[in-house]
Amino acid sequence: MLEKRINMKTGFPGPKTLAVLEDLKKYESQGDLCFANYGTPPVIEEAEGVFVKDVDGNTYLDLTSGFAALNLGHCPKAVIEAAYKQMNTVHHTAQQPTEVRMKLAKKLVEIAPGFLKNNSKVQYDTGGTNAVEVGMKLAKAYTKRPYILCYQGAYHGRSFGTLAVTCFPFLKENFFPIMPGAVRIPYPYCYRCPFGMKYGSCGMQCARHVRDLFSDPTWGLIDRKKGTNLVAGLLFEPAQGAGGYLIPPDGYWQEIRKICDEFDVLMVDDEIQMGWGRSGKMFAIENWNVAPDIMMVGKAFTGGVIPNAAIISRTEIMDVLQPIHQSVTFSGNPVGSAAALAMLETLEKEKLIQNANEMGAYFLGKLNELMEKHPLIGCVQGKGLMLSMELVKDRETKEPFETIRIVKEAVKKGLLLTISGHFGNRLNIVPPLIIKQDQIDTAVLILDEIIGAFEK
Ligand SMILES: Cc1ncc(COP(=O)(O)O)c(C=O)c1O
């Protein structure tokens, strides 16, 4: 049994951690390791709930949830048992049908948001990046149009298709040419409004800009002969993940839905990071009472136990796919399907979405108290347990403070955090949805101490 508290037995980094990291660097590509987040990351040996233990015996409180894949916490028993049972029954069939994948698809259609509910079909895949690829393919195939709108500061993956709609330039270096036809638009990042305006008096200029793109032919997105739109879909994260848990203001997605309806453009919703209760609703877009036309899910779909992803779209859109038009070896895998069904059952049985709302409100209140005390914190945002703060050297100029410095200090004190943001100056707080009040208090105390020390 893992200790249920922070305990830095040897201090960080301990000797075993350093030895493993040295060998890892020798044998493994650095392309997949999280050195960027910590400089030196802990080497995890064991994990349970919201705690992880490293190879030196130090125990940490995990506010990263394995990049939002562990909504049920580490090692969720019910999901592991369901996966194990399925493994011992039938664990792989490729495209051969199984009852368990049918049950999961039925469940997804039943819980899909808005007009997707009972009016959609499911396509399986193995990971978030692939799911976004399929979402874009569906939008293009259904509308027969070439362009995809995507947002400044978005993250959707690193394949040749998704790199075009992911907006962090360093990820693209040396990989051109990537998918053509991606058109970037400003995200409703009110703290740093791209139009220099203030929410309340701005008339939502960022949404107006989208309308303008569809109205003014000189943007180049209207077919000159037919007068129709050339945009297949607007790809979006309901709240930006890697962008810094940026939460658009009330009314924004409703306005975008209206504009998309008016100009016949599909809304393609990337719920890979924000889905499965993280935002206090099953799917984040439900916070705005909006339904997308196509939605992608992944990450916490199986409580992080086994890779799995799905695309859920309006039936007539999904029906553009022909037999074996879109398939990968492990899509619809029976173990992944059983694990996803168990994840959904656990969310419901343990009332974890309710806990995300209650603990999220508590955590947000505490972060706001920290902001009152610390000028280094420029802004705080949160819905459910997707929480973030933006760090600035000066509240007037909003000059970014490098969050990595906070993250590196926090790991020494037993707290795991994620850096994020357009300028690398936001801190994503992504606890498992099972987190309790005393654990939040511990995290806030550590943040208070570290931020205070930097201010001195
Ligand atoms: C919003 C969003 N979309 C897509 C992806 C890609 O998912 P994956 O890394 O599982 O391929 C991520 C991953 O962080 C994400 O946050």
The pLDDT tens digits of the residues spanning 355-399 come to 999 999 999 999 999 999 999 999 999 999 999 999 999 999 999
Query: Do 135 and 294 contact (CB within 8 A), yes or no?
Result: yes
Atom of ligand 1 nearest to the CA of 240: 1
Q: Which one is predicted more confidently, 38 or 218?
A: 218
What's residue 112's pLDDT? 98
What's residue 38's pLDDT? 75
The answer to whether residue 141 is domain-embedded is: yes
- Does one domain contain both 55 and 130? no
Ligand 1, atom 2, residue with closest C-alpha: 156
449 falls in which pLDDT band (50, 70, 90)?
very high
Task: Please choose from 271, 273, 285, 308 the residue to mutate so as to test ligand 1's pocket, defined by most ligand atoms within 8 A of CB.
Answer: 273
Residue range 94-101: average pLDDT? 94
Q: How far is the CA of 323 from the centre of ligand 1 (A)?
A: 27
The β-bridge relationship of strands 309-314 and 294-297 is antiparallel
| Backbone torsion region of residue 292, taken as left when φ is above 0, otherwise alpha when ψ lies between -120 and 50, otherwise beta | beta
181 falls in which pLDDT band (50, 70, 90)?
very high
The answer to whether residue 3 is domain-embedded is: no
The answer to whether residue 320 is domain-embedded is: yes
Helix (H) or strand (E) holding 343: helix 334-349
What's residue 382's pLDDT? 98
Q: How far is the CA of 312 from the centre of ligand 1 (A)?
A: 16
- Does one domain contain both 72 and 82? no
pTM over 0.85: yes
Residue range 424-440: average pLDDT? 98
Q: How far is the CA of 194 from the centre of ligand 1 (A)?
A: 25
Atom of ligand 1 nearest to the CA of 299: 10
Ligand 1, atom 3, residue with closest C-alpha: 156
Q: How far is the CA of 128 from the centre of ligand 1 (A)?
A: 5
What's residue 125's pLDDT? 98
Atom of ligand 1 nearest to the CA of 128: 7
φ, ψ at 382 (rounded to 5°): -175, 145
Q: How far is the CA of 106 from the centre of ligand 1 (A)?
A: 24
Residue range 235-252: average pLDDT? 98
Bond preceding residue 432 cis, omega within 30 of 0: no
Residue 72 exposure: Cα atoms within 13 Å on the Cβ side = 24
Ligand 1, atom 12, residue with closest C-alpha: 156
- Does one domain contain both 175 and 255? yes
Q: What's the chain's average pLDDT?
A: 96
Could you say which of 349, 373, 394 is where a domain stops? 349
What's residue 1's pLDDT? 77
φ, ψ at 414 (rounded to 5°): 90, 25
What are 285-326's pLDDT values in tens digits?
999 999 999 999 999 999 999 999 999 999 999 999 998 889
Atom of ligand 1 nearest to the CA of 129: 11
Helix axes 437-455, 352-373, angle to 10 degrees: 20
Residue-number span of the structural domain to which 375 is assigned: 15-76+352-455
Bond preceding residue 41 cis, omega within 30 of 0: no
Ligand 1, atom 9, residue with closest C-alpha: 128
The answer to whether residue 198 is domain-embedded is: yes
What's residue 451's pLDDT? 98
- Does one domain contain both 246 and 364? no
Q: How far is the CA of 245 from the centre of ligand 1 (A)?
A: 14
Task: Please choose from 70, 156, 269 the residue to mutate so as to test ligand 1's pocket, defined by most ligand atoms within 8 A of CB.
Answer: 156
- Does one domain contain both 258 and 336? yes
Could you say which of 349, 366, 400 is where a domain stops? 349
Q: Which one is predicted more confidently, 40 or 346?
A: 346
What span, in angstroms and rounded, lies between the C-alpha atoms of 37 and 20? 17
- Does one domain contain both 157 and 113? yes
What's residue 448's pLDDT? 98
CATH number of the CATH domain containing 140:
3.40.640.10
What's residue 33's pLDDT? 81
What's residue 324's pLDDT? 85
The answer to whether residue 10 is domain-embedded is: no
128 falls in which pLDDT band (50, 70, 90)?
very high
In the chain, the percentage of residues whose pLDDT exceeds 70 is: 100
The β-bridge relationship of strands 418-420 and 59-62 is unpaired
Q: How far is the CA of 159 from the centre of ligand 1 (A)?
A: 11
Q: Over 90: is that where the pLDDT of 27 sits?
A: yes
What's residue 178's pLDDT? 96
- Does one domain contain both 301 and 432? no
- Does one domain contain both 363 and 448? yes
Query: Do 278 and 354 contact (CB within 8 A), yes or no?
Result: no
Q: How far is the CA of 352 from the centre of ligand 1 (A)?
A: 22
Could you say which of 349, 384, 413 is where a domain stops? 349
- Does one domain contain both 425 and 313? no
Domain total in the chain: 2
- Does one domain contain both 366 and 257? no
| Ligand 1 pocket by Cβ (under 6 Å) | 67, 127-129, 132, 155-157, 237, 241-242, 270, 272-273, 298-299
Q: How far is the CA of 241 from the centre of ligand 1 (A)?
A: 9
- Burial per residue of 129-143, b for 16 or more beta-carbon CB atoms within 10 angstroms, e otherwise: bbbbbbbbbbbbbbb
- Does one domain contain both 120 and 166? yes
- Does one domain contain both 317 and 257? yes
CATH number of the CATH domain containing 439:
3.90.1150.10
The answer to whether residue 414 is domain-embedded is: yes
Q: Over 90: is that where the pLDDT of 264 sits?
A: yes
